[in-house]
């Protein structure tokens, strides 16, 4: 709250008249224009005029209700600065008095487990090593925001300013910079109009005071697809990050993101004071605390569950609720049910998957078809259209950064999907392949064109190939869709007829896949069908 006495004290300096001050005091208290008009016994038009004058005198630009919000923010920081100055006058020896902490967007951390090493590393980099740029990265729900909220509580005394902003709503760069500059009491007036000068002004400010600027949800301004590049229109954020990393200042910018912005990687390589931490799941004892906090009774299978979800606290929270609701809290019963992707977990993974480029999605599908680690050369062989080695490596690195793929345990160079992701991608692939067969439209056929469902044989025969588990799933799903083997065979044959006169590029792997599936239908369906295979 801004004290009324403070407003009255600063009004004369700003040239604000008594009548304007009356309107301002009521507006700051949250009264509407009509309310203020009634209370002051004047017309609404007159209220707007008086407030308009106030905005001008505080150099607030823009339109509509946003102006009042900006003014409020400005007054709050002026007030806090004033409080800090008076405290410093009272207690001149007090070091690093906190002048401004703007972290309305920080979540309150109720229960927090583990992460001692990560907290220590971040504190070391930010407080002791004085890194200018630190990135905390990891898949959704792994705990980036929570860990940072905890860290900030621990190190807040080191900073004069703590500013936390989420980029989830993708503010345009100029809006973001204006808002940032308004947090600093000395930058209230004459905010430059072009982006470049605004960035320079922000750096000046970060040089003159020690500030911790936290940018959360940075992936929102990054492109879907190859990790680390910016969405169209948001490239200037890259410029901001680069300059914040390169130019000397005494502040620290902490970036929380699913993916590493490319400037961070670059600055790290150049040995500038920039670091990044890839956050992995909670260790078993801490992850167990999460299950406990959800009221699950101890179970011998807890550790299996934690391993399957790779200690992801959000995934564990979601699944614990499902287990509580549908399996009376028994993890053993849940695991016997044989499915990891249930309810909200599926939505959560959908969001991660949607951010991928087409090549990244293709890699994920390849790994799901294989169901086991496959080596880089073998992976490359699977693509119908040639993929450049560097393009493939870049996509794999991008997937690894998002914690979506892992190195297989039994092969040093193989890649695979972790269990929950494997199940999710497999489900998606089975559904999409069956839909492609059902629609009978060549332009809708994508997966059957790009992915080969079987191991490419040495001789040109599709007979006696080992049936992959995914193919059994596809067969069974088709059977539940059409309930008739003859109808399925007819659908597949119709697709074959659509391929006549088409170029090899249009055909891709469709012909091979369809011939292979037809061959498979000649052998009996696995019967009786098990529910979990459908």
Judged by CB under 6 A, the stretch of 23-31, 107-115, 198-206, 516-524 that binds ligand ATP is 107-115
Per partner kind, with CB cut-offs from 5 to 8 A, the member of Mg ion, ligand ATP, none near residue 385 is none
- 291 touches ligand ATP (CB under 6 A): no
- 145 touches Mg ion (CB under 5 A): yes
The residues, ordered by sequence, that sit 6+ positions from 145 with a Cβ below 8 Å of its Cβ are 106, 107, 216, 256
Q: How far is the CB of 515 from Mg ion (least distance, A)?
A: 47
The residues, ordered by sequence, that sit 6+ positions from 388 with a Cβ below 8 Å of its Cβ are none
Q: Burial, 385: exposed, middle or buried (Cβ in 10 Å; 0-12, 13-18, 19+)?
A: exposed
Distance CA 225, CA 248 (A): 32
Give 509-533 as a DSSP string: THHHHHHHHHHHHHSPPPSSPPGGG
- 146 touches ligand ATP (CB under 6 A): yes
Using the rule CB under 6 A, which residue among 9, 69, 111, 120 binds ligand ATP? 111
- 144 touches ligand ATP (CB under 6 A): yes
- CA triplet 146, 104, 133: central angle to 5 degrees? 60
Judged by CB under 6 A, the stretch of 25-33, 137-145, 235-243, 453-461 that binds ligand ATP is 137-145
Distance CA 215, CA 238 (A): 13
Using the rule CB under 6 A, which residue among 261, 313, 329, 373 binds ligand ATP? 313
Closer to ligand ATP at the Cβ: 20 or 217? 217
How many residues line the site for ligand ATP (CB under 6 A)? 20
Judged by CB under 6 A, the stretch of 133-141, 226-234, 444-452, 515-523 that binds ligand ATP is 133-141
Per partner kind, with CB cut-offs from 5 to 8 A, the member of Mg ion, ligand ATP, none near residue 140 is ligand ATP
**Quick one: tokens of 266?**
């670059």
Judged by CB under 6 A, the stretch of 27-35, 309-317, 415-423, 432-440 that binds ligand ATP is 309-317
C-beta of residue 413 within 8 angstroms of C-beta of residue 393 = no
Judged by CB under 6 A, the stretch of 13-21, 70-78, 313-321, 365-373 that binds ligand ATP is 313-321
Strands annotated E in 350-481: 405-407, 415-417
Judged by CB under 6 A, the stretch of 41-49, 83-91, 106-114, 472-480 that binds ligand ATP is 106-114
CA 222 to chain centre: 10
Judged by CB under 5 A, the stretch of 19-27, 114-122, 140-148, 406-414 that binds Mg ion is 140-148
Question: Under rule CB under 6 A, which residues in 315-334 are in contact with ligand ATP?
Answer: 317
Site mask for ligand ATP (CB under 6 A), range 244-283, x = bound: --------------x-----------------------x-
Q: How far is the CB of 395 from ligand ATP (least distance, A)?
A: 21
- Crossing angle of helices 469-482 and 419-439, rounded to 10°: 50
Per partner kind, with CB cut-offs from 5 to 8 A, the member of ligand ATP, Mg ion, none near residue 453 is none
The long-range contacts involving 20-26, CB below 8 angstroms and separated by at least 24 positions, are: 20/50, 20/51, 20/53, 20/54, 22/50, 23/47, 23/50, 23/51, 23/54, 24/50, 24/51, 24/54
C-beta of residue 44 within 8 angstroms of C-beta of residue 34 = yes
- 311 touches ligand ATP (CB under 6 A): no
- 292 touches ligand ATP (CB under 6 A): no
- 113 touches ligand ATP (CB under 6 A): yes
Question: Under rule CB under 6 A, which residues in 394-453 are in contact with ligand ATP?
Answer: none
Closer to ligand ATP at the Cβ: 173 or 290? 290
Q: How far is the CB of 291 from ligand ATP (least distance, A)?
A: 11
Nearest residue to 398 (alpha-carbon basis) of 343, 439, 341, 356 = 356
The residues, ordered by sequence, that sit 6+ positions from 355 with a Cβ below 8 Å of its Cβ are 219, 224, 225, 258, 402
Distance CA 262, CA 268 (A): 10
Give the DSSP H/E element, type plus range, for residue 274. Answer: strand 274-278
- Residues near ligand ATP (CB under 6 A): 111-115, 138, 140-146, 217, 258, 282, 290, 313-314, 317
- Residues near Mg ion (CB under 5 A): 144-145
């Amino acid at each position: 709250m801004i004290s009324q006495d403070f407003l009255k004290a600063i009004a004369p300096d700003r040239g604000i008249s008594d009548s304007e001050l009356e309107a301002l005091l009521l507006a700051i208290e949250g009264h509407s224009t009509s309310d203020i008009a009634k209370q002051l016994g004047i017309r609404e038009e007159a209220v707007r005029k008086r407030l308009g004058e106030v905005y001008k005198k505080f150099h607030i630009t823009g339109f509509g209700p946003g102006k009042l919000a900006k003014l409020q923010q400005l007054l709050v920081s002026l007030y806090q600065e004033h409080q800090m100055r008076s405290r410093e006058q009272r207690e001149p020896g007090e070091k690093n008095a906190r002048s401004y902490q703007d972290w309305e967007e920080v979540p309150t951390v109720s229960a927090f487990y583990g992460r001692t090493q990560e907290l220590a590393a971040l504190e070391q980099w930010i407080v002791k090593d004085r890194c200018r740029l630190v990135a905390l990265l990891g898949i959704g729900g792994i705990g980036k925001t929570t860990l940072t909220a905890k860290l900030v509580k621990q190190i807040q005394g080191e900073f004069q300013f703590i500013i936390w902003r989420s980029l989830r709503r993708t503010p345009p760069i100029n809006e973001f910079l204006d808002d940032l500059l308004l947090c600093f009491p000395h930058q209230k007036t004459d905010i430059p109009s072009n982006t470049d000068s605004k960035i320079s002004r922000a750096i000046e400010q970060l040089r003159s005071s020690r500030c911790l600027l936290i940018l959360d949800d940075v992936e929102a301004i990054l492109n879907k697809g190859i990790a680390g590049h910016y969405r169209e229109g948001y490239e200037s954020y890259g410029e901001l990050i680069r300059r914040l990393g390169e130019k000397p200042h005494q502040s620290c910018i902490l970036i929380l993101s699913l993916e590493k912005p490319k400037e961070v990687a670059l600055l790290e390589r150049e040995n500038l004071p920039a670091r990044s931490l890839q956050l992995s799941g909670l260790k078993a004892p801490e992850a167990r605390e999460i299950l406990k906090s959800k009221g699950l009774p101890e179970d011998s299978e807890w550790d299996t569950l934690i391993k399957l979800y790779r200690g992801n606290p959000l995934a564990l929270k979601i699944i614990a609720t499902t287990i509580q609701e549908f399996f009376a809290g028994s993890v053993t019963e849940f695991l016997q049910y044989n499915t990891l992707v249930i309810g909200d977990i599926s939505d959560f993974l959908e969001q991660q998957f949607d951010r991928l480029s087409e090549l990244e999605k293709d890699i994920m599908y390849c790994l799901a078809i294989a169901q086991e680690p496959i080596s880089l050369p073998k992976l490359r062989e699977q693509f119908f259209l040639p993929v450049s080695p560097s393009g493939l490596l870049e996509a794999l690195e991008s997937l690894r950064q998002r914690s979506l793929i892992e190195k297989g345990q039994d092969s040093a160079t193989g890649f695979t999907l972790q269990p929950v992701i494997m199940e999710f991608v497999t489900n998606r692939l089975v559904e999409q392949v069956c839909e492609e067969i059902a629609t009978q439209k060549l332009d809708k056929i994508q997966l059957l064109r790009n992915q080969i469902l079987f191991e490419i044989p040495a001789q040109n025969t599709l007979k006696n190939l080992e049936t992959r588990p995914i193919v059994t799933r596809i067969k069974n799903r088709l059977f539940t869709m059409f309930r008739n083997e003859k109808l399925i065979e007819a659908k597949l044959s119709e697709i074959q007829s659509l391929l006549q006169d088409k170029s090899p590029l249009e055909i891709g792997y469709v012909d091979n896949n369809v011939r292979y599936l037809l061959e498979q239908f000649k052998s009996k369906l696995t019967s009786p069908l098990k529910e979990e295979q459908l």
